[in-house]
Structure 1
Amino acid sequence: MKIGVHLAASGVWASPETIVPLGERADELGFDSVWVSDHVVVPSRIDESKYPYGPPGTFSPDKSQNFFEPFAVLAYIAGRTRRVALGTSVLVLPQRQPLVVAKQWATLDALSGGRTILGVGAGWMREEFAALGVDTFERRGAATDEAIRLYREVWTRQGDVTFEGEVYRFDPLRAMPKPAQAGGPPIWVGGHGRRSIRRAAELGDGWHAIRIGLDDLRGSIATLHEMLGRYGRRPEDVVVSTVCNVYAPGARPDGEPQEWDLVGEPERMAETLRRYETVGVEHVVLNAFPRDSVTPMLEAVELVAREVRPLV
């Protein structure tokens, strides 16, 4: 099993003093990847949209918190690290002009020596789309599908590139540079609904699940494998990843721990990871807690690297 670290580039404590040490230490400790999330803006009122990864009202960020821009963070971390993969968990594709994203990501991949994983999602916050002045919310699924196809065309085709879709289209053009990874950087599709799973099965190199318990995950992986067969693909063609929370020694979540919480003694944490591995998870991304300063976050990832991972 591969293990990555979320860089906590959003939240009250998100700052250079938090992000950079986590990225550097993850690289030094042998973690496989580092990740950042994405929201361009967070509207003060979110009345219509339902948060898909928790009960209603659970997406209520402090209005004073930072939400660092993912391309800039990963480019900076690429220059401060040597080997760790650089990923988004996840980039909201329909909010962005796809040719711009294709160029930005190809540049990051080229400069980092081919270390990127592009995690993508269709988005859920209507109010954010409206604030950005983009009209793709109602057709965000189609826009996401087309953007994935468009990226691959731009990244892999030599000479002129054209694209003709329902949402995006352009006449022949040249798009450079090409990414370092042959065939383009892997694209992992985020989300746990059937549409996201279908998108991963048809178009993705990975399926990235967020806040989902073992029983639901087992069923979703079975659905993924069934859908892969429809598209003439195999289970080994798509990496299955998920996000877990990990707590520093002596720390606990508020309330009862969830299935995706790594809490307690190292053996207990390792058993949780082994259960995920048993159902088919190949890559786990860790959110380190508590987030009242960088120190407990570093303690949490140190614990996993030195005492938990050897038991998995």
Structure 2
Amino acid sequence: MSTAHTAGLVLPVRHRPTGYDHESVIRLGEFADAQPGWSTLWVPDSLMALPFLDSGVLLAALAARTRRIRLGVGCMASLGFRHPVTVARQWADLDALSRGRMLLAACPGNGTGTAVENELRTFGMDYREKVARFEEAVELLHAVSSGATSYSGPFTQVENLDLGPGFVQRPLPIWITANPSPTAGPATVDRLLGRVARLGDGWLTFNVTPQLLRERVERLYELRAKLRPEASGRLEICVFLNTNVGLDQAAVRADATQRWFQTAPRGVTLDDLDGIAAIGSPEQAADLAGRLAEAGATHLAIEPLSLDVPAQARALTELLLPRLNLLPTPDRSLVQS
């Protein structure tokens, strides 16, 4: 059975109710960096709507204390709130500090909910404006990480931009997150996947079965051919996968269920987990990973759905990764800026 080419570990950045602090997150990142099966570390992002530690602070610390592994934010829901020149400045330095290991997965964030509405009010914009600013920021980042020193858009005009040592990766890889509901109609799917096709070097998604992923990967390539005919080559397809593996099936299920009730992802019910999460034996988890790869996934962003994330990360390293037949990842500490 096919497997995704690479796998990344999603770090636990919620400061409540789980109580993971910066140092414990960084130590877990150091652990994964020492295990050749992990190719990427992921940190989520939110300014106000979700109780996350700051993504930029964590990425800088991880860049300084890891050597090999790629470092991603997935997804950067606050991009539409941040001035894109500030983001460019920070990410140029992050890419230099990490010697070319940064990966930005960007998204406009959710548009509804009390916490989201409060966040929008705080930044003085509606969701439509936030989405427009997000798209402009992606375009600016593509441009300046490719060497441009000026940019002009509806919200941002900059000339003579000097980013110092600048980006090691030219351009910075930017993936776009889009999660159409499994019941979304064709117009909604095309609107969301069309954004990926127009702006992204890859697609990050969650809450997909292998069959649904296959259908949407096919549609994504059709849309890219229509909207960006000059683009060629393979898109990176990353599936965010809640995972809990172990030898005691009852214990695995109980642990995953308790953790789910702490986090309760938007748009996902407990019943949904059987089809979209890898919970169970290592063999069961590897089987789902293989079917996702056959459907088009090139990368898995694996979030330990566990009350004890470090222990589950060790279990994933020992029990699951050897069954995935992952491609070897280069030692990026040798990349010179």
TM-score bin, normalised by smaller chain: 0.7 to 0.9
Aligned with 1:21 (options 22, 27, 49) = 27
CA distance change for structure 1 residues 132 and 104 in 2, over 3 Å: closer, same or farther? farther
Distance (Å, rounded) in 1 between the aligned partners of 2:200 and 2:101: 17
Q: Does 1:232 align with 2:236?
A: no
Where does 1:66-85 land on structure 2 (aligned, <5 Å)? 66-85=51-70
Give 3-state SS (helix, strand or coil) of 1:259's partner.
helix
Q: Does 1:215 align with 2:215?
A: no
Question: Residue 167 of structure 2 aligns to which amino acid in structure 1?
Answer: P
Question: Residue 242 of structure 1 aligns to which amino acid in structure 2?
Answer: V
| 1:190 alignment counterpart | 177
Give 3-state SS (helix, strand or coil) of 2:138's partner.
helix
Question: Residue 22 of structure 2 aligns to which amino acid in structure 1?
Answer: P
Q: Does 1:96 align with 2:82?
A: yes
8 Å CA contact retained: 1:22, 1:298: no
Distance (Å, rounded) in 2 between the aligned partners of 1:162 and 1:310: 43
8 Å CA contact retained: 2:245, 2:285: no
| 1:5 alignment counterpart | 9
Aligned length: 285
| 2:105 alignment counterpart | 119
The offset of 1:154, in angstroms, is 2.0
Distance (Å, rounded) in 2 between the aligned partners of 1:236 and 1:171: 31
CA distance change for structure 1 residues 302 and 77 in 2, over 3 Å: closer, same or farther? farther
8 Å CA contact retained: 1:98, 1:151: yes
8 Å CA contact retained: 1:245, 1:262: yes
Q: CA RMSD in A?
A: 2.2
CA distance change for structure 1 residues 170 and 303 in 2, over 3 Å: closer, same or farther? same
CA distance change for structure 1 residues 269 and 188 in 2, over 3 Å: closer, same or farther? same
Specify every segment of 5 or more residues in structure 1 that has no aligned partner in the other structure, as ranges.
43-60
The offset of 1:277, in angstroms, is 0.6
Distance (Å, rounded) in 2 between the aligned partners of 1:259 and 1:234: 33
Give 3-state SS (helix, strand or coil) of 1:90's partner.
strand
Distance (Å, rounded) in 1 between the aligned partners of 2:324 and 2:224: 30
Distance (Å, rounded) in 1 between the aligned partners of 2:205 and 2:232: 16
The 10-residue stretch of structure 1 (2-11 or 187-196) with the greater mean CA deviation from structure 2: 187-196
Distance (Å, rounded) in 2 between the aligned partners of 1:298 and 1:128: 38
Specify every segment of 5 or more residues in structure 2 that has no aligned partner in the other structure, as ranges.
181-188, 258-269, 328-337
8 Å CA contact retained: 1:38, 1:67: yes
Question: Residue 43 of structure 2 aligns to which amino acid in structure 1?
Answer: V
CA distance change for structure 1 residues 26 and 84 in 2, over 3 Å: closer, same or farther? same
Where does 1:1-312 land on structure 2 (aligned, <5 Å)? 1-10=5-14, 11-13=16-18, 14-30=20-36, 31-42=38-49, 66-92=51-77, 93-125=79-111, 126-158=116-148, 160-163=149-152, 165-166=153-154, 168-177=155-164, 178-181=166-169, 183-193=170-180, 194=189, 195-230=191-226, 231-233=228-230, 236-249=233-246, 250=248, 251-252=252-253, 253-254=256-257, 256=271, 257-292=273-308, 294-306=310-322, 308-310=323-325
TM-score, normalised on structure 1?
Answer: 0.84
The 10-residue stretch of structure 1 (67-76 or 120-129) with the greater mean CA deviation from structure 2: 120-129
Q: Deviations over 1:243-297 (max 9, x none)?
A: 1111141312325543232222222211111100111100000001212453234
The offset of 1:304, in angstroms, is 2.2
The offset of 1:120, in angstroms, is 0.1
Distance (Å, rounded) in 2 between the aligned partners of 1:171 and 1:78: 28
Question: Residue 135 of structure 1 aligns to which amino acid in structure 2?
Answer: M
Distance (Å, rounded) in 1 between the aligned partners of 2:206 and 2:318: 23
TM-score, normalised on structure 2?
Answer: 0.78
Distance (Å, rounded) in 2 between the aligned partners of 1:216 and 1:237: 19
What percent identity do the matched residue pairs reach?
26
The offset of 1:131, in angstroms, is 4.6
Give 3-state SS (helix, strand or coil) of 1:41's partner.
coil
The offset of 1:235, in angstroms, is 6.6
